[in-house]
Amino acid sequence: MTAFLPTSGLCVPLSRHRLAVRVAGLVVVLAALLSGVVASPGTAEAASEDTHYQPSFVGAPYFAPGAVYTQNFPDPDVVWDAGTQRYYAFSTTTGGVYVPVMWSTDLVTWTARTNHAIPNPNGQFHDALPDPSPAGSTWTSGDPNFPDEVWAPTAAKLSGNGTSAWVMFYALRVNASGTHCIDFATSQTPDGPYTSPQQFFCSATPLGVIDPYVFTDSATGKTWLMWQDQGEAGKDWSSLWMREISLTSAQSVGWAAGSAPVYLMDAGADWERGVAENPSMVRTSDGVPTLFYSGGLWNSVGYSMGMAKCGPLQFSWTPICTRVGSGQVMNSRVGMTGIGGSSVFRGVGGAAYVANHYWSEGLAPSYPGNQRRLVVDRVYETPGGLAFSHEGGPVGVASSSGYAPMGPTRVLDTRYATGTTSTRALESGEVFVVDLASRITATTTSVTMNVTVDGAAAPGYLTAYACGEPPVASTLNYTSGVVSTNLVTVRVNATRKVCFSTQASTHLIVDLQGRYDSAVSTAVTPVTPVRVFDSRQSVPVQAGNWVQVQIAGQAGVPVSATAALVSLTADGASISGYLTAWQCNGSPPVVSNVNYGPNWPAGNGAIVPLSQDGAICVFSQSRANVIVDVFGYVGPSGQRLNISAPTRVFDSRTSIGVVGAGQTVPVQVTGAGKAAIGSTAVEVNVTATDARAPGWVSVFPCSSPPAPGSETSVLNLVTGQTKAAHVVVPVGVTGPSAGQICLRTQNATHLVVDLSGGYN
């Protein structure tokens, strides 16, 4: 899975005991830092990390020079170098080298550095840091192949005083008690070798400092060193810090003149278990410094990535960063346990990414089994906060595609472990991946699904999108205690996966209805909406029964049609239930298209295969009136969809204000940044929010407006409700309304329109 989280957060309170311990430790740390001198390392009870991998490479395979590497890579740090147009990744000692370095152009395939001229003590010539020990160091591990122990390196290109250099900071063990100090070495190339090692600083706390990270602030141009102070072994205290640094020569770095330490946060949340480590930072587009870190025990399932929002980067006796919620934003995915060791970075074009390691199996180093492997997530900014995805996005521009009806087939139901391994609800902030590779073809560009939310813990929204793309628009809005449904057409990524992000904890049900496929000849023909069935004119459909509705031969649908695009509405039910539409071949399938409640109408779109007689059947779980409107059909010929990422083309909240009762609003859907000029129809998701009274919303081509009183509905609302509907709408290609669709409301409400593709 991937993670999605809100932008707001609350401080997690500390117990009085924890607070007292932290204040005492804080005084020690600040005294050392403000003195401007390097503190002498103290003593400690035990090191907080393992001793990693010795020359026998226990727990990791050989990090072979010039070879593609996919194995152990703990505490990853990634940096983009514009000069070589490559990403470089560094990790804690593994595979025979102190600091392995590998490069990539796509953040997927990583190749180890080739040999250089300087060997490390183990006889390897491709170590990014062949000798980490500064002059005067006396402690040794006793291992002639690895006399030093190096942790969590970070590298960055620094400039100052008329020169520039690549600088690597790293933590080095300095005594038998496990104390660490932060050292640095320099190079003229990002992949090293880094030489001339020097001690930078130590802490007065017994376990010392570890996990350095270099942050260059895009807002101020200042460069900062971030780190973790480990505190004292056996005591519930570790903290995160930063201080401005400057390059004083091509081989020297110091604290910036007049700088002071900045206290970021400490390990105060329960899930962190006294450990907050691996700090890194990026400014989001709102200008807020955003802290990424890891919390929990490194060899436990609870090890996770955390996030906090920070105040001004200046000296403070109190933490300047506030956790987003609990702080925990990413923990485990399928096949990935204990995600952490976080490091955020900017890549090509300023795109934000975060690197982590994860356990592939088990929680202890061994080979070939348990490994801490590298995973890189793209960081997306969305209206609801930040989202993370390690899935590759769609490749190129989606081809013009015909439509092939499928099923409908239930591919996911978290209530009953259908399509997943457990019966758990999706968590707030979670992004869930649905793999459709076994159900759709390699030429599929997008899929049509009916998406249902059940048991939501709080009001919120769900977004469906191609994994690897940013989730920019909501698909479905829900409230607690109400089952909500919407039809969606969403692009698939290169591995035929679709992602779902949810704002609140909820169960998710997904029914696959069909696919848009570049190799399929059958296509869609939209029509001006026509009502073909309304049981309110006769008798309601009884509980557990269904009604057959003739489609072919009506509303401009020919007998050659194989499926119909319809809007289904349930009205007048006295108890909750659902509607299911199918092609009348036997009993109704175990899927739903509309979920309704007592005394309020509910509707949704569907693409339903037609029977041999050109009909569909509609089943109702409870006694209710059923209304069917036709919006188009699938046949041997028609218009092909050019799918795109959702684009918001209209929002009354930021433009015209509330749409009044009976008002018709035109929306331009073709042109620059929209569907291609000349498109004859579009796919849109229409959302109504803050409805001022019960009523409906109708969507139609502006060139063919319905007479007042003869409208068909795509949304049926109750007061205060937020609701969305997916619909295909014809578009005029000539005249004053060319490229426009129109929306009409029965009563006042705000309206939002997101465009997802055009037909031609």
- As given in the structure block, the two tokens for residue 194 are 């880094």
Asked whether residue 611 falls in the same domain as residue 720, the answer is no
Three-state SS at 535: helix
pLDDT for 396 equals: 52
- Write out pLDDT tens, residues 148-198: 989 999 999 999 999 999 999 999 999 988 899 999 999 999 999 999 999
Q: What is the mean pLDDT of residues 196-218?
A: 95
Virtual CA dihedral for 46, 52, 57, 58, nearest 10 degrees? 60
Asked whether residue 337 falls in the same domain as residue 227, the answer is yes
Query: Is 676:758 a contact under the CB 8 Å cutoff?
Result: yes
- Write out pLDDT tens, residues 400-458: 899 999 878 999 999 999 988 778 888 876 778 899 999 999 999 999 999 999 999 99
**More confidently predicted of 145 and 426:** 426
In the structure, what pLDDT confidence band is assigned to residue 55 with cuts at 50, 70 and 90? Answer: very low
Cα–Cα distance for residue pair 212/413, rounded to 1 Å: 43
- Summary mean pLDDT of the chain: 88
Identify whether 198 is part of a domain: yes
pLDDT for 12 equals: 32
pLDDT for 369 equals: 67
pLDDT for 131 equals: 96
Cα–Cα distance for residue pair 143/698, rounded to 1 Å: 76
Q: Is 673 left (phi over 0), alpha (psi -120 to 50) or beta?
A: left
Virtual CA dihedral for 576, 509, 750, 601, nearest 10 degrees? -20
Asked whether residue 558 falls in the same domain as residue 690, the answer is no
Phi, psi of 537 (to 5 degrees): -85, -5
- As given in the structure block, the two tokens for residue 236 are 């519930």
Lowest mean pLDDT among 238-242, 581-585, 645-649: 645-649
Lowest mean pLDDT among 27-41, 45-59, 247-261: 45-59
Q: Please report, rounded to a whole number, the percentage of residues in the chain having pLDDT higher than 70.
A: 89
Identify whether 386 is part of a domain: no
Identify whether 237 is part of a domain: yes
Which CATH number does the domain housing residue 172 bear? 2.115.10.20
Asked whether residue 55 falls in the same domain as residue 32, the answer is yes
Of the candidates 679, 652, 543, the residue with the CA atom closest to the CA atom of residue 598:
543
Identify whether 736 is part of a domain: yes
Quick one: three-class SS letters along 354-378? EEEEEECCCCCCCCCCCCEEEEEEE
Choosing from 513, 548, 573, the residue where a domain stops is 513
Rg (CA), the chain: 30
Asked whether residue 624 falls in the same domain as residue 559, the answer is yes
Q: What is the mean pLDDT of residues 262-278?
A: 95
| Domain with 292 in it | 2-343+354-381
Choosing from 635, 659, 691, the residue where a domain stops is 635
- Write out pLDDT tens, residues 576-607: 999 999 999 989 998 999 999 898 789 999 99
- Write out pLDDT tens, residues 119-139: 999 899 999 999 999 998 888
**More confidently predicted of 458 and 42:** 458
Beta bridge pairs of residue 337: 359
Asked whether residue 47 falls in the same domain as residue 196, the answer is yes
Q: Is the pLDDT of residue 364 over 80?
A: no
Of the candidates 216, 270, 272, the residue with the CA atom closest to the CA atom of residue 240:
272
Cα–Cα distance for residue pair 159/142, rounded to 1 Å: 38
Asked whether residue 132 falls in the same domain as residue 74, the answer is yes
* CA distances for 259 relative to 33, 255, 469, 605, 733, angstroms: 10, 7, 40, 61, 63
Asked whether residue 436 falls in the same domain as residue 584, the answer is no
pLDDT for 394 equals: 67
CA 588 to chain CA centroid, nearest Å: 36
Phi, psi of 349 (to 5 degrees): 70, 15
Choosing from 462, 482, 513, the residue where a domain stops is 513
Q: Is the peptide bond before 408 cis (omega within 30 degrees of 0)?
A: yes
pLDDT for 567 equals: 92
- Write out pLDDT tens, residues 523-557: 999 998 899 999 999 999 999 999 999 999 999 99
Identify whether 654 is part of a domain: yes
Asked whether residue 64 falls in the same domain as residue 108, the answer is yes
Asked whether residue 371 falls in the same domain as residue 399, the answer is no
Asked whether residue 499 falls in the same domain as residue 528, the answer is no
CA 131 to chain CA centroid, nearest Å: 39
Phi, psi of 20 (to 5 degrees): -65, -45
Which residues does 460 contact at the CB level (< 8 Å), separation at least 6? 428, 477, 478, 502, 503, 504, 506
Q: What is the mean pLDDT of residues 336-356?
A: 93
- Write out pLDDT tens, residues 733-760: 888 999 999 999 999 999 999 998 999 8
Three-state SS at 747: coil
pLDDT for 5 equals: 32
Amino acid making up residue 173: R
Query: How many domains are contained in the chain?
Result: 4
- As given in the structure block, the two tokens for residue 180 are 């660490």
Which CATH number does the domain housing residue 597 bear? 2.60.120
Cα–Cα distance for residue pair 461/475, rounded to 1 Å: 7
- Write out pLDDT tens, residues 484-514: 999 999 999 888 999 898 888 899 999 999 9
pLDDT for 384 equals: 66
Quick one: three-class SS letters along 405-463? EEEEEEEEECCCCECCCCCCCECCCEEEEEECCCCCCCCEEEEEEEEEEECCCCCEEEE
The Cβ of residue 227 has, within 10 Å, a number of other Cβ atoms equal to 30
Terminal Cα-to-Cα distance of the chain (whole angstroms): 36
pLDDT for 36 equals: 45
Identify whether 733 is part of a domain: yes
Phi, psi of 511 (to 5 degrees): -115, 120
Phi, psi of 150 (to 5 degrees): -115, 135
Phi, psi of 300 (to 5 degrees): -135, 160
The Cβ of residue 585 has, within 10 Å, a number of other Cβ atoms equal to 11
Query: Is 54:145 a contact under the CB 8 Å cutoff?
Result: yes
pTM above 0.75, yes or no: no
Identify whether 449 is part of a domain: yes
Give the angle subtended at the CA of 235 by the CAs of 231 and 237, to the nearest 5°. 50
3-state helix, strand, coil in the chain (%, to 5): 5, 50, 50
Q: What is the mean pLDDT of residues 22-43?
A: 47
**More confidently predicted of 214 and 178:** 214
Q: Please report, rounded to a whole number, the percentage of residues in the chain having pLDDT higher than 90.
A: 65
Identify whether 518 is part of a domain: no
Asked whether residue 528 falls in the same domain as residue 404, the answer is no
Q: Is the pLDDT of residue 50 over 50?
A: no
- As given in the structure block, the two tokens for residue 672 are 């620059």
Q: What is the mean pLDDT of residues 89-95?
A: 93
